Amino acid sequence: MPARPRGSTRRREGEHVYPSKPEPATVYEGRLFHRGRLVEAEMGVDDDGKIVAVAKQLRGGRRIHLGESILLPSSIDLHVHFRDPGPPGEVEDLASGTVQAALGGIGAVVDMPNTIPPLTTVERLEEKGDRIASRAWVDVLPYAALIPGVDVPGLARVAAGFKLFMGPTTGDLVTPADEERRALLESVARTGLPVHVHAEDAALFGHGHPPQDTDTWDQARPMSSELSAIRSLRDHPRSLRLHICHATSPEAVVAAREIGASTEATPHHLLLAASQFGNTQQKVNPPLRPERVRQALWEEFQKGRVPMLASDHAPHALARKSLPFPDAPSGLPGVEVMLPLLLEQVRRGSLELATLVQVSARRPALFLGVPRGSLAPGNEADFLVVDFRARRKIEARSLHAPCGWTPYEGREAVFPQEHYLRGERIVEGGEFVPGRRARRLLPRPPGT
Ligand code: DOR
Ligand code: ZN
Ligand code: ZN
């Protein structure tokens, strides 16, 4: 007979008594990442897709043995461009983007507003919500563009945050002048929502010969322009949750910290370097940096000194990427391979698993204020089954990006074998399976 729940009064004849903790529907047993390390334990998940318990031993439930595999929280990608809405024939949409996210171990994405048309009005954000509801296979946090004239309080009810472009890049979103920017940041600070910044100062761009490779692209949009943009935000409102996207150097990470902002590093700035052979597939804003800078950023990342990881997944059609270097668009796909590339670094012993989980799951969840990012009771049951023996070479033809190319061709990676979103399996044996539990995530509007 189960113990009576605490505080219950005398029981009438025939009345059912529930144990104080319901038994989980499913129990996963094996090596789980819990409180900063791998432990032999059991994790119970209920039918609503919540983690109900993690302990040495749990009672009941359908039992799943992990064998040689380990259980990790799903990642959260703070930065993708899923190009939805977009014109007919656009290279990505919410369906194709979220399939890649699912396969890459990402259970939630922050989706950027430089779409066609750009997400600058309440109406467009509402429509974006409908698109997410009908197409997305993982959770999506839609962001609004922070440009002069936007209705910040209105957008705060339908967007999960704001994106500020301080330099010219895909989408031609207007960069507000200094005074306008100050006013916009003040009004976002009042909403409590975050602002993510593309930090490049066009006043410091080079005007030499047209760039022909990733070396000269780096010189055209130098590190000094990134540092200048970050530092120009130093007088931001103190209550603002400010986040600097794609830091390309240790100095950029430090500059962000000094102004009280968080930062992310991308897999391309961590793993690829500028070179005189670098072609348009590696053309990105801000640019890849010289090998010594890449190495220095990687070392900071290894030491856990870069707060977060994000893909900046920004695919473009191969036809457009095949234009001469100066005319080709900037951006590269990364959402499917980001975590697998870094799991391979863990397998090789060049990155601590704890560091990777921290930057890809735990901190992004805390930053966004969503109940996930760790295998803890009360959190959504978003998790991955990873087997380090199941590694394979990345090939564009076996990835799921409609753009059909990858700058990581031939690199080793460890793809998750299984991915669960709210307890429902969306990747099985490394293959995508459609689920029903993806959502638009909006932080609770202020005052509710
Ligand atoms: O390289 C980039 N591509 N940088 C950006 O800021 C935007 C992105 C895109 O949307 O293509
Ligand atoms: Zn950017
Ligand atoms: Zn971006």
Q: How many domains does the chain have?
A: 1
114 Cβ closer than 6 Å to some ligand 1 atom: yes
CA–centroid distance, 168 to ligand 3, in Å, is 12
Pocket test for ligand 1, best of 78, 79, 81 (most atoms within 8 A of CB): 81
Ligand nearest to the CA of 91: 1
H-helix or E-strand containing 219?
helix 214-220
Tell me, yes or no, whether 213 lies in a domain: yes
Tell me, yes or no, whether 439 lies in a domain: no
Tell me, yes or no, whether 365 lies in a domain: yes
101 Cβ closer than 6 Å to some ligand 1 atom: no
Beta bridge partners of 31: 40, 70
**pTM assigned to the model:** 0.94
Domain containing residue 261: 74-372
Tell me, yes or no, whether 262 lies in a domain: yes
H-helix or E-strand containing 33?
strand 26-34
Q: What is the pLDDT of residue 200?
A: 97
284 Cβ closer than 6 Å to some ligand 1 atom: yes
81 Cβ closer than 6 Å to some ligand 1 atom: yes
Tell me, yes or no, whether 150 lies in a domain: yes
Distances in Å between the alpha carbon of 254 and those of 236, 260, 316, 430? 17, 10, 31, 38
Residue numbers of the chain with a pLDDT score lower than 70:
1-22, 444-448
Cβ 363 vs Cβ 307: under 8 Å:
yes
Please name the residue whose Cα sits nearest to atom 3 of ligand 1: 331
Tell me, yes or no, whether 214 lies in a domain: yes
214 Cβ closer than 6 Å to some ligand 1 atom: no
H-helix or E-strand containing 301?
helix 291-302
Ligand 1: which atom is nearest the Cα of residue 284? 1
Please name the residue whose Cα sits nearest to atom 4 of ligand 1: 285
H helix and E strand count, the chain: 13, 18
Q: What is the pLDDT of residue 130?
A: 96
- The pair phi, psi for residue 4, each rounded to 5°, is -70, 145
DSSP 8-class letter at 10: P
Q: What is the pLDDT of residue 167?
A: 84
What residues have CB less than 8 Å from 276, skipping those under 6 apart?
213, 215
Distance CA 240, CA 370 (A): 18
**What residues sit around ligand 2, an ion, with C-beta below 5 angstroms?**
198, 245
What is the CATH number for 305?
3.20.20.140
Q: What is the pLDDT of residue 217?
A: 98
Pocket test for ligand 1, best of 164, 201, 284, 325 (most atoms within 8 A of CB): 284
Cβ 72 vs Cβ 386: under 8 Å:
yes
Helix (H, G, I), strand (E, B) or coil at 58: coil
Tell me, yes or no, whether 430 lies in a domain: no
State the helix-helix crossing angle for 223-231 and 250-258, rounded to 10 degrees. 10
Q: Which residues carry out catalysis?
A: 312
Tell me, yes or no, whether 10 lies in a domain: no
DSSP letters for 139-171: EEEEEEE--TT--HHHHTTT-SEEEEE-S--TT
Ligand 1: which atom is nearest the Cα of residue 165? 6
Distances in Å between the alpha carbon of 409 and those of 34, 187, 282? 33, 44, 12
Ligand 1: which atom is nearest the Cα of residue 198? 6
Q: What is the pLDDT of residue 437?
A: 87
Ligand 1: which atom is nearest the Cα of residue 114? 10
Distance CA 190, CA 405 (A): 42
